[in-house]
Amino acid sequence: MPTFAAIDIGSNSCRLKIARVVAHRLKTVHEDREVTRLGSSVFESGLVSPEAMALTLRALKRFQRAVQAHAADQIRVVATAALRDARNAGAFHAWVKAETGWNLEIISGLEEGRLIHRGIMSAEAGVGGRVLLVDLGGGSCEITLSEQKRIRETISLPLGAVRLTEGFLMADPPTADGLAHMRQLIGRELRRARRRIPADRISLVIATSGTAAALCEASAALVKSGKARAIRGMGPGDTPAPLVRKLATKLAKLSLPEREAVPGVGPRRAEIIVAGAQVYAELLEHFALPGFRYSPLGLRDGMLSQMLAEQDTRTTSHREFESERWESVLSTARRYGVDLRQAEPVRAHVVQLFRELKTLHELPADYEHWLAAAALLRDTGKFINHQGHHRHTQYIISSSEMYGYTPVQRTIVSAIARYQGKSRPQPDDRALRNISTDEHRSVRRAVVLLRLAVALNQDRASDVVRVAAKVYPKRIYLEIEPGRTGAELELWSLRKEADYFREVFGRELFPTLA
């Protein structure tokens, strides 16, 4: 039974969740959380303070002891808004690596929203229709529109509770001017969100993270005490919009000790709850929503679900993950004007060569998917300029938001697609700079496989040729079955690749007509 560990380094707190796979499902075995305020100095100065770094690292070392105690087979560590913005994120990344051995991954706001969506939809029962997901963290607010458990739109807004508090609410209680300026910013950002996310026919709003939990508990306490009436049609776990506005107004008038005494808020949340409550109140009103339902699920659950989906091919989540990941590749190809009818034969050939030449290339299984993606996206650079389009392709792929790909994986795909022209991979190339040197050999081999697939599809006006690969100790034969218009151009193109093939694989390449 494999065990997975997910660590979320947020702008306000660090969280750990460890889960074991039991009967193809995740069972949580350990959770931990520490408020570290990593983003507090970032949103003011653009730098993570040494104190916040040290406090966060102490929490990570405690997490590491738990991870080791549970013998986790796979660990993923991600950071969000604070390190996205911090100019010294690289220094913190190096410190984490030196002290724990973990590779810290800084994910984009959109990837954060996608993982939160996966975490909720993989575990919440009975969720369907059009659902709006809201995750308000310390540095950002991710809003996702889901329809039948599939993402329709995701947007990340700079409306985190720590960010807003540091920017507008340093007085205690907050000043009227500070509140007014903050609400202006919130309104502007929410109007931008409304242009992207239609609010009609939304059947449910699900809110995650600490601010939503505090508002949920505080509103329930108001109803229980008789200071507010229950709203008809709202379930026991729902928080109605009028109560959110009532709480937002009340909290803004209280001092820190008074806010700490509010049920559900507590000492650390009290410092940032005013900003968080205002965001939720404004959001519900801007989108004309009746309220929200709190879910304890979030980013860590999405990370764990993705780890399970990547490893256990028999799960429904694996099929969903593969489908969504490939759809994101197709979407990127369409966005940059790729002719999928012409790209598909290249994809089919490179997958075939990957499978038939396994004993030769010895590449990890993940490279089959990465090669397929590179085959489909290799011409995206022509959207910018036909001249030097391979360089543009590398930039587009590495910079694009593609679901299910880490930044390193996108960089590998971009490097494979980059070297389909005259240039060859060199260790000091920009395209390989963010790929570990241990991976360079695999990238070079993948580049050759894709070059062969491209060579097999030179005459795009003809029908697709067929090929069969035969592996011998010193030679590799590619037997081509010509199409209706022959295969002379493909044969010539393959022979041009023979020298580079020999350089990379140490064997002779013999393309022949069947």
pLDDT at residue 125, rounded to an integer: 65
- Cα-based distances in Å from 378 to 231, 420, 512: 55, 8, 26
pLDDT at residue 27, rounded to an integer: 93
pLDDT in tens, 201-234: 888 899 998 999 999 999 888 888 776 666 665 5
Q: What's the rounded Cα separation, in Å, for the pair 272 and 253?
A: 14
First vs last C-alpha separation in the chain: 48
> In this structure, what are the phi and psi dihedrals at residue 264, rounded to the nearest 5 degrees?
90, -15
Beta strand 475-481 pairing with 466-471: antiparallel
pLDDT tier for residue 461 given thresholds of 50, 70 and 90: low
pLDDT tier for residue 402 given thresholds of 50, 70 and 90: confident
Q: Is the pLDDT of residue 462 over 70?
A: no
Please choose, from the candidates 271, 52, 255, 62, the residue with its C-alpha nearest in 3D space to the C-alpha of residue 163. 271
Q: What's the rounded Cα separation, in Å, for the pair 29 and 71?
A: 11
pLDDT in tens, 405-421: 888 899 999 999 999 98
161, amino acid identity: A
pLDDT at residue 211, rounded to an integer: 93
Retrieve residue 137's tokens. Answer: 């963290």
Domains and CATH numbers, the chain: 3-108 (3.30.420.40), 125-296 (3.30.420.150), 337-513 (1.10.3210.10)
pLDDT at residue 485, rounded to an integer: 78
Contact between 119 and 189 under an 8 Å Cβ cutoff? The reply is no
pLDDT in tens, 16-33: 999 999 988 899 999 999
pLDDT at residue 431, rounded to an integer: 87
Across the chain, what does the average pLDDT equal?
Answer: 90
Is the whole model's pTM more than 0.85, yes or no? Answer: no
pLDDT in tens, 422-460: 889 988 888 888 888 999 999 999 999 999 999 999 865
